């Protein structure tokens, strides 16, 4: 069974073209801004980590070299919060840093005011001239960098939201501009379908895709009108050509039945001819009604119809 346009339009899961355009623009805007935000965060974190780790590695390497070559001099360094301790005096070091393995670490520690601070810590193992191992660490406060990263994240999320809303509005505006000619064409076609004479559609639209569609609809309406006109002319000719001889037969039978000298057998045969003529007339009328897609108005006696068959 064919699916009607109304049922197709009401089928869940189907979207109008206007909605698809708006959703496409919104998804495009969200996807591009989200990809941009992720790329920016990744690039910023990567560059920041590379810079901090490279600086800390350089400072801790310099500190180890100073202790190994000049143990009697006070070490100098460019970074604050540097420590060098051996296994004997490791108890003097904060437990957060005492057991750190050589390499890069991230340590969170509260300062004197109770504010959480984030540090990048570089640890390296060295050997003194007396043959005693020692540990050197350089600590760098990255709390501000972490706060900056959080602020950047919030700004990027805001940018993603703003660009998504902008893309949604742009999609809505674009869909309205794109779908306006299509909606106009649908309204004109609907008005044309309710009138006896179809309206020319192509003259109201520019020479674009919608104009091409309007031209195709005009051509189709013209061909359909020609077909309907030929059908009407054919039905009129058929009605005339078939009903004329039946009318002649009906008139001749009625005239013969008025003669009093006819015997009963002849009258029976004439009555049979009259019923056959009436059945043919009814059958032709029904076929013409069906061919015109018309519906007869009135009442029908089903028992009488059954008796005539």
| Residue-level pLDDT at 52 | 73
φ/ψ of residue 297, rounded to 5? -110, 130
Averaged pLDDT for residues 66-74: 78
Rounded to whole angstroms, the Cα distance separating 145 from 162 reads 25
**Is it the case that residue 1 has pLDDT exceeding 70?**
no
pLDDT in tens, 148-185: 677 777 777 887 788 788 878 877 887 777 777 778 88
φ/ψ of residue 302, rounded to 5? -65, -35
If one counts every other C-beta atom within 10 angstroms of the C-beta of residue 100, the result is 16
**Is it the case that residue 12 has pLDDT exceeding 50?**
no
| Residue-level pLDDT at 51 | 66
**Is it the case that residue 60 has pLDDT exceeding 80?**
yes
Which of 20-24, 111-115, 248-252 has the largest mean confidence?
A: 248-252
| Residue-level pLDDT at 305 | 55
Q: Which two tokens stand for residue 63?
A: 């500190």
Give the pLDDT band (50/70/90) at residue 306. Answer: low
Give the pLDDT band (50/70/90) at residue 309. Answer: low
The string of DSSP letters for 69-113 reads H-TTSPP--SSSSEEEEESTTGGGS-HHHHTPPSEEEEEEEE-TT
For the chain, the maximum distance between any two Cα atoms, rounded to a whole number of angstroms, is: 161
Q: Which residues 6+ apart lie within 8 Å of 101 measured at CB?
A: 123
**Is it the case that residue 24 has pLDDT exceeding 50?**
yes
| Residue-level pLDDT at 2 | 45
Instruction: Give yes or no for a contact between 39 and 31, defined as CB atoms under 8 angstroms apart.
Output: no
Report percent pLDDT > 90 for the chain. Answer: 1
Length of the chain, in residues: 309
Give the pLDDT band (50/70/90) at residue 3. Answer: very low
Average pLDDT, the chain: 76
Rounded to whole angstroms, the Cα distance separating 308 from 237 reads 28
Rounded to whole angstroms, the Cα distance separating 88 from 132 reads 10
Radius of gyration of the chain (CA): 48
Q: Which two tokens stand for residue 115?
A: 């504010």
Left, alpha or beta for 152 (phi > 0: left; psi -120 to 50: alpha)?
Answer: alpha
**Is it the case that residue 196 has pLDDT exceeding 70?**
no
pLDDT in tens, 26-48: 777 787 778 787 878 777 777 67
Look at residues 46, 79, 48, 50 and name the one whose alpha carbon lies nearest to residue 62.
Answer: 79
């Amino acid at each position: 069974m064919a699916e009607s346009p109304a049922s197709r339009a009401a089928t869940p899961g189907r979207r109008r073209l206007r909605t698809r355009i708006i959703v496409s623009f919104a998804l495009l805007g969200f996807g591009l801004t989200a990809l941009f935000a992720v790329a920016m965060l990744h690039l910023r974190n990567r560059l920041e980590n590379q810079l901090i780790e490279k600086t800390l590695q350089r400072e801790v390497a310099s500190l180890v070299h100073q202790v190994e070559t000049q143990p009697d001099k006070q070490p100098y360094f460019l970074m604050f919060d540097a420590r060098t301790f051996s296994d004997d005096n490791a108890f003097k070091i904060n437990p957060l840093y005492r057991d750190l393995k050589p390499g890069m670490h991230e340590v969170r520690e509260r300062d004197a005011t109770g504010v959480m601070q984030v540090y990048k810590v570089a640890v390296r193992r060295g050997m003194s001239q007396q043959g005693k191992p020692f540990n050197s660490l350089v600590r760098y406060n990255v709390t501000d960098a972490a706060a900056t990263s959080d602020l950047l994240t919030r700004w990027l999320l805001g940018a993603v939201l703003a660009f998504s809303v902008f893309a949604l509005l742009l999609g809505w505006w674009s869909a309205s501009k794109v779908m306006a000619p299509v909606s106009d064409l649908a309204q004109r076609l609907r008005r044309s379908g309710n009138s006896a004479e179809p309206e020319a559609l192509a003259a109201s639209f520019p020479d674009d895709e919608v104009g091409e569609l309007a031209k195709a609809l005009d051509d189709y309406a013209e061909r359909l009108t020609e077909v309907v006109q030929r059908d009407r002319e054919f039905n009129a000719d058929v009605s005339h050509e078939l009903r004329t001889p039946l009318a002649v037969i009906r008139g001749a039978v009625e005239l013969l039945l008025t003669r009093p000298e006819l015997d009963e057998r002849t009258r029976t045969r004439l009555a049979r001819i009259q019923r056959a003529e009436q059945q043919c007339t009814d059958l032709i009328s029904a076929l013409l009604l069906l061919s015109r897609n018309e519906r007869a108005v009135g009442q029908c006696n089903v028992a009488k119809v059954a008796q005539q068959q």
